Structure 1
Amino acid sequence: MNKKGCPEEYPISLVVNGYEIAIFQLTKQDLEDWVYGYLFSEGLIEYTEDVKCVEIDENQGRIHVTLEQDFPVESMFSKKKHYTAGCGRGVTFFSMTDVKAFNKVKSEKTYQLSYLLKMRSEFAKSSLLYLETGGMHGACLVDEYGNMTIREDIGRHNAVDKVIGHAIRNHLDPRNLVLLTTGRVSYEMLSKAAKFGFAVIGSRTAATKQAIQLAKYLQIEVVGYLRGKMAISYTSFGRVENDLEVRFSEVHPQ
């Protein structure tokens, strides 16, 4: 019987310009990427230059962020908090209505299904924390040259924030990237991807009806159940071509 270690999670308070946003359950790896990704996803920053300083105190479980400009504290905290579904519970201040106001994705870049399945397989083989513990989620960026950047966390949404943070810190163009995730694509996951501008999202599992409706509205290609010799196409913008004799069904809820 093979023994695996236990996945770790820590309560970490995010404090921005002296105001505590929330306490998050996080895996400690790549916390600075998470900070940038979360702040970007929530609309508190647009560029890395908007962040003056990040101080991470793992012993106290606090991250202090100083922004170059004040952020609208009253308007932000007057919004309802939306708690994310699943493990590593998080919080977002964007509603479904807010997300529909995001820019629609414009991309003519296409990918073959065989390529996405291959990248998903390589992603799984390279997810070291998952291989060590069996209890981690991961997110992966695949660039136009096939290079992968992987981030892992107890929460699937945290992992996505981490890869988005990596992307904006390195000034990567979302039009040249595919987002792969191990977790379910729910509306808050879709909103993070839409905010950054990903045109193609692939998951080893399902997408929710609300996420699919948003993806169709924002013109984002979503492919689920990328595993073995199957996949499910949830949207139909022509960015993923089935070049294999595999089950590639379409699900388009109203």
Structure 2
Amino acid sequence: MAKSVADAPYLIAPDPAAPRLTRQVTGVDHTGATIPMSVIEERPLTIFLNGAEIVTAMTIGDYPEYLALGFLRNQGMLKDGETVKAVEYDDELETVVVRTDSATTYEEKLKKKTRTSGCAVGTVFGDMMEGLQGMTLPAAELRSSWLYALADRINRTPSLYLESGAIHGTVLCCRDRPLVYMEDVGRHNAVDKIAGWMLSEGVGAADKILYTTGRLTSEMVIKTALMGIPVLASRSGFTAWGVEIAEQVGLTLIGRMRGRRFVCLSGADRLIRDADWSAVAEEPAGSGRKGAGRS
């Protein structure tokens, strides 16, 4: 049975001071002045499944077990009913080995795939599209007051992005409450970490909202749908195929969510406008996440 986390505070949140995630460097600005800077670390993580090397991801290095599980789950390599027997991370070798009760290695299967140019980890597209056949997501309630509350709470949460920039964030939310906040150099990595956490903790998806700082592309929409999450929201914009797939599976899609503004391009009939948008404060310049003036 899926766990109920609706009344929980942040279960996981970024720690800008975490060791090994950033490095202090010295640069020179446009005036010639010397300035200290914090920059994001980037390191490889190789994921193995039942003895087969699946992929090497470039990642910041936190929550490697969640990233591995979520990547395998979102690529359709961990099937429903398949039991994960072990997830073993080796810090020195920079590997995660996932072992299940299946004898399939997926090695030959992967050789026949074509990878797209995803962000940090490419996406094996075939099985993901197949997984959407006949899918209809639950028609979850969504209130505009939740969106405004989430945007405000997420923007006030300490993060690696506000510390160093050059990073994406993804937040799993329940109603107006952020639950799990993950960051990484690629938006796909951040989403996969969320998926891995949900799989590890047995947390259900039917009443959740997924927030991302990244673009609402077809790959992001597909991953959200395969996770069973009925609402996807972002600070950024849309692609046409992302909107088309969202409409196909019944995913509520919210983009350009900043301050009092947002746009719904799929599922507008499921959105309850219960907040006076004119009473919502505009987002102060430079206070928000990626897409709000920093790169």
The bucket for the TM-score relative to the shorter chain is 0.7 to 0.9
Name the SS of the counterpart of 2:145 in structure 1: helix
Give the whole-Å Cα distance in 1 for the aligned partners of 2:213 and 2:126: 23
Aligned equivalent of 2:249? 218
Aligned equivalent of 2:101? 68
Query: Does structure 1 conserve the Cα–Cα contact (< 8 Å) formed by 2:52 and 2:105?
Result: no
Deviations 1:172-203 (A, max 9, x none): 12111110011112111111111111111100
Aligned equivalent of 1:197? 228
Structure 2: state its 5+ residue gaps: 1-28, 30-34, 279-295
Is 1:244 aligned with 2:282?
Answer: no
Aligned mate of 2:207, from 176, 179, 203:
176
Aligned equivalent of 2:168? 137
Name the SS of the counterpart of 1:5 in structure 2: strand
Aligned equivalent of 1:103? 135
Task: Give matches, 1:26-45, under 5 Å.
Answer: 26-45=59-78
Aligned mate of 1:92, from 91, 116, 124:
124
Seen in structure 2, the aligned counterparts of structure 1 residues 110 and 65 have a Cα distance that, compared at 3 Å, is same
Range 111-120 or range 95-104, more displaced: 95-104
Name the SS of the counterpart of 2:92 in structure 1: coil
Normalized per residue, the structure richer in helix is: 1
Report the residue type matching 1:113 in the other structure: S
Seen in structure 2, the aligned counterparts of structure 1 residues 162 and 70 have a Cα distance that, compared at 3 Å, is same
Query: Does structure 2 conserve the Cα–Cα contact (< 8 Å) formed by 1:139 and 1:181?
Result: yes
Deviations 1:10-56 (A, max 9, x none): 12211111111121111111111111211111112246962111111
Aligned residues: 244
Aligned equivalent of 1:209? 240
Name the SS of the counterpart of 1:192 in structure 2: helix
Give the whole-Å Cα distance in 2 for the aligned partners of 1:77 and 1:96: 13
Aligned mate of 1:17, from 50, 55, 73:
50
Report the residue type matching 1:106 in the other structure: P
Seen in structure 2, the aligned counterparts of structure 1 residues 202 and 31 have a Cα distance that, compared at 3 Å, is same
Give the whole-Å Cα distance in 1 for the aligned partners of 2:107 and 2:192: 24
Seen in structure 2, the aligned counterparts of structure 1 residues 216 and 6 have a Cα distance that, compared at 3 Å, is same
Q: Larger C-alpha radius of gyration, 1 or 2? A: 2
- With structure 1 as the length reference, what TM-score do the two structures score? 0.86
Give the whole-Å Cα distance in 2 for the aligned partners of 1:14 and 1:111: 36
Name the SS of the counterpart of 2:126 in structure 1: coil
Query: Does structure 2 conserve the Cα–Cα contact (< 8 Å) formed by 1:83 and 1:89?
Result: no
- With structure 2 as the length reference, what TM-score do the two structures score? 0.75
Displacement of 1:7: 1.1
Name the SS of the counterpart of 2:253 in structure 1: strand
Name the SS of the counterpart of 2:147 in structure 1: helix
Query: Does structure 2 conserve the Cα–Cα contact (< 8 Å) formed by 1:127 and 1:152?
Result: no
Displacement of 1:61: 2.1
Query: Does structure 2 conserve the Cα–Cα contact (< 8 Å) formed by 1:53 and 1:67?
Result: yes
Displacement of 1:205: 0.3
Is 1:118 aligned with 2:146?
Answer: no
Report the residue type matching 2:221 in the other structure: L
Query: Does structure 2 conserve the Cα–Cα contact (< 8 Å) formed by 1:127 and 1:138?
Result: no
Report the residue type matching 1:90 in the other structure: G
